[in-house]
Amino acid sequence: MKRIYTSVIKKHFEHYQQMIFLIGPRQAGKTTVSLMAKEFTSQFAYLNWDNLDHRKIFLGGVNSVAVFSGLDRITKETPILVFDEIHKYGKWKTFLKGFFDTYKGKVKIIVTGSSRLDVYKKGGDSLMGRYFPYRLHQLSVAELGRVDFLEREINEPFQIKNKEFERLFKNGGFPEPFIKNDVKFLNKWKRLRQEQLIREDIRDLSRIQELGQIELLAETLKHQAGQLTNYSSLANKINVSSDTIRRWIKTLQSFFYCFTIQPWSRNIPRALIKEPKTYLWDWISVEDYGSRVENFVAAHLLKAVNYWTDCGIGRYALWFIRDKEKREVDFLVSRDNKPWFLVEVKSSSKEGISKNLTYFQKKIKAKYAFQVAFDMEYIPRDCFECTTPIIVPARTFLAQLV
């Protein structure tokens, strides 16, 4: 299926010579999106480190790859070359630097990886200035109806079918289980994906030996999505130190199992400034309905701030707000280090506007304050028309993002 990231790749190659680093979770569609780039040129080549024949070409060095991709001959169009999972090669940074410096302007390069490509620095020179990263997320409400390149942050709302919305919430946004829409397949897929993530990716690309304990931590985080991350409590449950828990959660973040958001503390007296909140990339792993609803919205907001930042629209970040009086709003999106809009997530639209939403909007002077109701039907109105706290349907609000 078409993805918005295909149009991002096209737009990038129209304006920049830098390599694309396409980074995202395992099975989110990075390889599929990179292969779709062949529609932009008749000169296309693909190399995957996990393919033994391709690995021999990699190990042959820069000239070997150049011959394979047709750079030793004149062509009508600039070739596009994809390096898939190259971060598993110990000298990948040195290789990429040498290849890019040799053939800059003669080839367009896409590099993909399931773990963050800048985490494992196994030697080699810096690639600074030679690439732009793009973080690829799973499918979202907006991407089910809009795949063209977005030049601005907020777009006109559109309606997707209720069945599509429910399928996304039930099956998750990873393309294969979403498309198949089969509960038995989904159950098998979830189990195997987590096993591969911990027993293969983390084992092979980190120095962590206690895989059983980090697997227990991963299971525990499923039941704490959206809660403050209490490192001491987790340490007692897993039987390791708090510092180890912090390090392991960072590892799980680097492999896109979970993500944390920090508390916003500027201009808030007695703000909570320590513990982050943790969410899962794959919201279907969260069993509690209310927690899954919150995680679902969190994943959509993270995708939006990453897209806006990666595409150069501005600097965006996702936060939450909580003070020592335990007043809290689920999310704050900042733009260029200033509060932009607040989001409080509710399963039901029957609840009135949260007092905390009103309080914090006045305190930090955010332009918008939304109470996103998950059970409301789609309304064809721009949620961003109103600057006072307002209850909006999740189906409308999320369709205006990415």
Q: Which domains does the chain have, with CATH numbers?
A: 4-135 (3.40.50.300), 142-399 (no CATH)
- Cα separation values, 111 from 115, 133, 177, 256, 396, Å: 12, 9, 25, 17, 34
Which helix (DSSP H) or strand (DSSP E) does residue 128 occupy? none
* pLDDT score at 122: 45
Alpha carbons 282 and 291: distance in angstroms, whole number: 12
pLDDT at 123: 46
pLDDT tens-digit series, residues 303-332: 999 999 999 999 999 999 999 899 999 999
Cα separation, 163 vs 180, whole angstroms: 14
- Judged by phi (left if over 0) then psi (alpha if -120 to 50, else beta), residue 105 lies in left
Residue 88 has what pLDDT?
86
| Euclidean distance between CA atoms 145 and 80, whole angstroms | 28
| Below-50 pLDDT ranges, the chain | 120-124
Q: What confidence score (pLDDT) does residue 120 get?
A: 47
Instruction: Tell me if 312 sits within 8 A of 337, measured CB to CB.
Output: no
Give the pLDDT confidence score for residue 209 in this predicted structure. Answer: 81
Q: Are strands 328-335 and 316-322 parallel, antiparallel or unpaired?
A: antiparallel
User: Taking a C-beta distance cutoff of 8 angstroms, is the pair 85, 50 a contact?
Assistant: yes
Helices 231-238 and 211-222, axial angle in degrees (round to 10): 130
CA–CA gap between residue 107 and residue 99 (Å, rounded)? 10
